[in-house]
Amino acid sequence: MAELGRIILTEQQIQSRVRDLGNEITRDYKNTPFVAIGILKGAFLFLGDLAKQIDTEMCFDFMATSSYGRGTTTSGEVRIIKDLDDSIEGRHVLVVEDIIDTGLTLNYLLEVLRKRGPASLKVCCLLDKPSRRQVPVQIDYVGFEIPDVFVVGYGLDCAEVYRNLPYIASLKT
C-alpha cells in the first residue's frame, strides 16, 4: 500500500467549501427541481455532504465509471459499470464528481447523458486538475483547483484504500 504524503486540504477547508458550493447550487436551482448524479465510488462522501447544504428540491441517482483500474494513471478507456436507475429526459441534471483530471471520463459521460435529453446538464466537482486536461470540459461548480499530484481521501482512493479519510492528502512517490 502506498504511503500518505502531505495533507493538501484539511477537513475544515473541505467542509467550508462544500457549504459555499451548496449555497451556490441552492441559489442557481431555487424553484427548479433537479437530479444530482453522483459518480461512484469517489463522489459518494462529497455528494452526501453537499446534499445537506442544498436547500431546494432534489433527488439522487448514481453512475459508476472506470478508467483507472487499480493504478494511478488513467487507461484512457472509459466504461460505464453502473448506469442510472431512472430516466433523465426533460429533467435538470447536476453531475457530481470527486475529481476532474484529463477530462476524458467526464467528456465521455457528458456525451452519454446529453443523448438522454436532459432539460439542462451541469457539473460540480470537488477537485479540478486543469494542468492534466486533455479535452476541454465545462465545469460549473469547482471546489478546489489542485496541482498535478495523486491525491486520496474524502472518497478518493488508491487501489480502493484511503476513501474514508476526512481530509485529502497526496501519496508519497
Which residues form the catalytic set?
Answer: 101
110 sits in which H/E element: helix 104-114
Helix (H, G, I), strand (E, B), or coil: what is residue 145?
strand
CB atoms within 10 A of CB 101: 24
CB atoms within 10 A of CB 1: 8
CB atoms within 10 A of CB 103: 20
